[in-house]
Structure 1
Amino acid sequence: MRQSSETRKWTEAARGEADHDALLFARLPTDFGPVRVGDAEFKAALSRMVLDMPLRVASSAPERRGGGWMPGTGGSGGEAWQAELTRSYMRHCEQRGTPGDCFTRLEDGPFLQEDDKRSIAMALAVGPALEGVDAEVRAMLDPTRVLATLSISITAYMALVAAPDPVLTKGVAAGAALLLWGYLGFEFFDLIRAYRRLSEEAARATTFAELREAGERFGRVIGPNSVRILVLVGTAAVGETAALVSKAPKLPGFEQASRTIEFNTGWSLMDAAVGAERVIVSMPEGTLRAVLPMTAVAMTARGGGDKSSGGGSGTPKEGRVLPNGHRAFKSFDDFKDFMGPAGEGKQWHHIVEQRNVNVERFGSEAIHNTENVIAVDKAKHDAISAFYSSKDPQAGGMVVREWLRTQSYEKQRAFGLMVLRQFGVAP
């Protein structure tokens, strides 16, 4: 996979930069294949990591507080299938040799709720991958408790990544998403689609057999390699960001994933995962964008940099522009201080509008950057602004910008580019 010209220019422009507080807004490539993790190296790595994994502390006793509920005493009507589902779940736990609420899913009531069913389906999906964990580890830790912790953690992260138009802010969830991207490449979106199906099927399930089928289908759809990667990243991400920092570089295949990302983007995968301010996932468009620190540019890219190339060493007064640079700013004022005036008879125009709702949702760096803000003739800029303030059938009869605020970042950008073409600003 050859580094795209756009990414190459962006990387070259970043070389030699001294401003480590600067942020870069970039569309992440996904046109590369996944890292392959073998079964043996997976089991060895997992055995090492689970010893340091903080496990949930929960009782496995089935008795319920405030009424002494026991499985099998559920009511009639709508509760009948819930009671039977819960009994089936308890039988599954007993068959595993861990009778009771083995996945700690009944802590908030006598019946399994939607999020409980998703976690159980996920446990059933990834459970087979954990069966080969080292015997010494199995003797020290309860494998079912490990599986419960992992399934809850993975489900929580996947629910964030697979939410409609998700925007993941700085932290372990954004870091886990970028690690999954680095490992999976074009299969990243296959994983999200598979999880969405699991989530929907688990929510509808009324029997344990349906939960089992949802979990097993998930494993079949993404395949054993992606299951291993999901479990490895999920295990590394249990806990705080510090756990991700210490464990991720030791994962099997991490060096290969890092080399692939660095070759295609010029970024350090670990610096990107740990330092990402925001990650914006758009499933309909199949795109992934991130606000990254300048320090995410890999040392190999910075090391040979020439300050006279790309961005150069000019000052803001000289109008230093990073070619296709996706250089991001904390505010529009900062952008204008760096870029200067738009030009005689021109005004700066945001393709994705700079409304407060967009800034709060996507982050200021996603709005005030050199990809999203362009110079437009003043008369055309006024006409475009008037159009956005009008009602239009394409917006369902709503005011255009009010309708637009409900759309994903990619849809807003695609719409903004279409408007620029319609008003003769872009070809």
Structure 2
Amino acid sequence: MVRSYGRICEQRGTPGDCFTLFDDGPHLQQDDKLRIAMALAVGPALEGVDAEVRAMVDPTRVLATVSITITAYMALLVAPEPVSKGVVAAFSVLLWGYLGFEFFELIRAYALLSEEAARATTFAELREAGERFGRVIGPNSVRILVLVGTAAVGETAALASKAPMLPGFVHTSRAVEVNTGLSLVDAAVGAERVIVSVPESTIRVVLPMTAVAMTSKGEGDQSPAITGGKLLLNGHRAWRSHSGITNALGSPGNSKRWHHIVEQHESNINRFGPEAIHNTENVIPLDEGLHTAVSALYSSKRRFITGTDKLTVRQWIRTQSYEAQREFGLRAMENIRRGVWK
């Protein structure tokens, strides 16, 4: 298998470890075999996609990107409790919007591909599994897989911004809006989480209360209490500074403080941008006592959270993704409120 993998890299003009599969050792692991099978499945189909889709990607990197990124995203969808957030949620909604019930066939096909790749002992078996999956997914799935595979990991807006470039996007988005009352892009970007049930062939998109309210009232009936800043696709508003958002929001209320779920330190602002930090989804009013307790937790060293005595919680969490930091921030508030963490 290793020799055959090397020959593929040479044929593509990138000899060596072109999919970076050997970073964890010189042998092909189970997930490595799955990535190769995915590349073999998608590779031939890429030659036939429309020119406008090919213009979205760097052809020298697309196979490696797709094989690594898509296997990770699809693995979340076939998990026992496939609850997706951030860019994975956007991927799920856009893919469902394009494929309809074929979306669930794609997930089933991926589950079969995973099983066959794990059992494969020869490169020929890997190729056969990949080609079988390739026949199932078809050209529509390839379009959206390329889109997701070339979006930056964790950047939901980057993924959604490329969606209108797909052939047939206007028709697809209109069909979703007629049947659900929601814009396809708004649902993708605004989704707090997506729950996929393959046995029941259902997809559940959980949206913020603000997004649901805006949809039910209609765009012309909106009377937002908060103005200014930048209106985001998910219905929240964002500012480029702490003073900008707090001036717009006004007082948080008696014995309350404005609290950033994802902290507003320089590292986060540089990584995610100020508008990802200073927005009405991330900044919430919090009881002063709870706000102080959360800040104290982040400044402390908690081995049961970080796995080490050398880092504070803040030092540990700041290296993680935006979605991970937000999820931890919400969990921290709940656990402190319930007295689980002290």
> What secondary structure, in the 3-state scheme, does the structure 2 residue paired with 1:289 have?
strand
Matched, 1:196 2:103: no
What's the C-alpha RMSD, in Å, of the aligned pairs? Answer: 3.2
Offset, 1:132: 5.9
Which ranges of structure 1 fall in alignment gaps of 5 or more residues?
1-84, 308-359, 365-427
Offset, 1:165: 2.7
Cα distance 1:237–1:306, how it changes in 2: closer, same or farther (>3 A)? closer
Give CA-to-partner distance per residue, 1:92-136, whole Å, 9 cap, x none. Answer: 22233322112111111011111111111111111123336899x
How far apart are the structure 2 equivalents of 1:173 and 1:199?
19
How far apart are the structure 2 equivalents of 1:150 and 1:196?
17
How far apart are the structure 1 equivalents of 2:210 and 2:46?
36
How far apart are the structure 2 equivalents of 1:268 and 1:295?
14
* Counterpart for residue 14 of structure 2: 98
Match of 1:146 among 62, 76, 89: 62
Give the stretch that moved more between structures: 110-119 or 93-102.
93-102
Cα distance 1:98–1:133, how it changes in 2: closer, same or farther (>3 A)? farther
Check the 8 A contact 1:86/1:112 in 2, yes or no: yes
Offset, 1:172: 0.5
How far apart are the structure 1 equivalents of 2:39 and 2:62?
10
| Identity value in percent | 77
By percentage of residues, which structure has more helix?
2
> What secondary structure, in the 3-state scheme, does the structure 1 residue paired with 2:17 have?
coil
1:168-247 to 2 correspondence within 5 Å?
Answer: 168=84, 170-236=85-151, 238=153, 240-247=155-162
Matched, 1:254 2:147: no
1:25-424 to 2 correspondence within 5 Å?
Answer: 85-131=1-47, 143-168=59-84, 170-236=85-151, 238=153, 240-296=155-211, 302-303=218-219
> What secondary structure, in the 3-state scheme, does the structure 1 residue paired with 2:206 have?
strand
Check the 8 A contact 2:62/2:150 in 1, yes or no: no
Cα distance 1:224–1:213, how it changes in 2: closer, same or farther (>3 A)? same
Offset, 1:193: 0.5
How far apart are the structure 2 equivalents of 1:97 and 1:226?
27
Check the 8 A contact 1:166/1:281 in 2, yes or no: yes
Cα distance 1:181–1:301, how it changes in 2: closer, same or farther (>3 A)? farther
Cα distance 1:305–1:242, how it changes in 2: closer, same or farther (>3 A)? closer
Offset, 1:194: 0.7
Check the 8 A contact 2:89/2:191 in 1, yes or no: yes
Whichever residue aligns with residue 120 of structure 1, its letter is I
Whichever residue aligns with residue 110 of structure 1, its letter is P
With normalisation by structure 1, the TM-score equals 0.47
> What secondary structure, in the 3-state scheme, does the structure 2 residue paired with 1:252 have?
coil
Which ranges of structure 2 fall in alignment gaps of 5 or more residues?
224-326, 332-342
Offset, 1:272: 1.1
Check the 8 A contact 1:248/1:254 in 2, yes or no: yes
Check the 8 A contact 1:202/1:211 in 2, yes or no: yes
Report which structure shows greater RCO (CA 8 Å, sep ≥6). Answer: 1
> What secondary structure, in the 3-state scheme, does the structure 2 residue paired with 1:120 have?
helix
How far apart are the structure 2 equivalents of 1:184 and 1:157?
16
Cα distance 1:301–1:197, how it changes in 2: closer, same or farther (>3 A)? farther
Whichever residue aligns with residue 179 of structure 1, its letter is L
Whichever residue aligns with residue 136 of structure 2, its letter is V
Whichever residue aligns with residue 4 of structure 2, its letter is S
Offset, 1:299: 6.1
With normalisation by structure 2, the TM-score equals 0.58
